[in-house]
Amino acid sequence: MNASHTDEVIPQGNLLFPIFLKLEQLNVLIVGGGKVGLEKLTAILKNSPSTQITLVATVLSPEVRELVADFLNVEVRERPYQSDDLNGHDLVIAATNDRLVSEQIKREAKEKKILANVADTPDLCDFYLGSIVKKGDLKIAISTNGKSPTLAKRMREFFEGSLPDDTQALLDNLRGIRSRIQGDFNEKLTMLNELTSSFIAEQEETTKTQARQVINFHPDRIAELNRKYEPLTPAERILELYKDFPAEKVLFTSSFAANSIYLLHLFATLTESRQPVHFIDTTYHFKETLAYKRRLTQLYNLKVVDVKPDLWKNKFTREYELWRRDADLCCKVNKTEPMDAVSQEYEVWVSGLMRSQNDHRKALKVFEEKNGMIRFYPILDVTDEQRDNYIEQNHLPLHPLLYDGYGSIGCTHCTVRGQGREGRWAGLDKTECGLHI
């Protein structure tokens, strides 16, 4: 038995097909100069300010007059709608409160094969003006199929508040990366998907760390640790750490930079070099830093674990000179992403932050929680003088670039000579790579 056409599955829900029009190449007619007319006019000019618009209205509100005064591409016809107004236009928007006039506009537009939008009358619309989310070149159109403009507006506000302010910088960087990718379409698509997947993964990781925080941390645990450790010396803190945490759950990182020798020597001495030292090899280190790392590794029998970024991502940062265009993204790819992957296996992360280094670090405590992980700064309250005295008394070898005017040492492209950390990301509103904020 053959199935009749009544047995066919008819699609349900919102059947609208979203498209993005180049309105600057079209002529738009708006009929109505009141509140609704102002809303439609504002939406078009905000998104496509060069659009040729004809505005027909018997009466113009003061707000409409003020708006059109700034746009030479808006022609105003202050009189009732006439059938000839449709001539030469590609789209028409009826924004009147007169149902009969709206029906006339729709009927005559259909005869002339002109698409029409009739405000607040979905059954007369050929198209809707959705709520538009705009961040630089990124645009997201939201439609409720004419059911609830208010919900569409609230969704727009949600996305506008959620999307980062540097979305345009991200788009520009991805465009530059895309232009440099070699291979056919499928290869390019695969590589871009891998690159952008890190942004999705970051959101997923946030959820995971929030869950891990609930599991691993009692609300008062950090406060208790700080009360216990703050009166102790750096050496006492390090020894106590291994009583409160399993050794295999302790992550210790070092940049082998300007004053890293202080904390490295403490750990090497107190743990007899049993504690592994993770080093982030961004591939942009000074040759002096790498030589210094080799020297200290041999001198103190350190167990150094090199942490490296994804090879192809690192290659893109080099070819695109990402540090010039988006230093935060460059740090993210070459530092924070690799360490995020490593840190998941540990409970506590040890690093050599000191309050004297910058304003952000002045507010830190010996222990803090960040992204579901305990951070431990055993030398946080040590003064520069105390550190330098320890280095001198123990005859510890210094980083060679200290003798060449570098107070802080990171990657070659983002480090210049200067006192303290003033030589890091000079000229940029940036003081941290992202590992510690």
| Residues identified as active-site | 433
d(CA 269, CA 293): 17
57: nearest Cα among 66, 65, 48, 49: 65
How distant is the alpha carbon of residue 197 from its chain centre? 13
d(CA 107, CA 97): 17
d(CA 280, CA 307): 5
At residue 158's C-alpha, the angle toward residues 157 and 161, to 5°, is 85
Burial, 362: exposed, middle or buried (Cβ in 10 Å; 0-12, 13-18, 19+)? exposed
- The residue with tokens 């002045």 is 362
275: nearest Cα among 331, 167, 348, 368: 348
Contact 305, 277 (CB under 8 A): yes
- The residue with tokens 């305990």 is 374
| CA distances to 91, 138, 188 from 196, in Å | 37, 15, 12
d(CA 18, CA 287): 54
The span from the first CA to the last CA of the chain, in angstroms, equals: 69
Which residues does residue 305 pair with via DSSP β-bridges, in sequence order?
A: 278
d(CA 47, CA 356): 48
**DSSP, res 44:** H
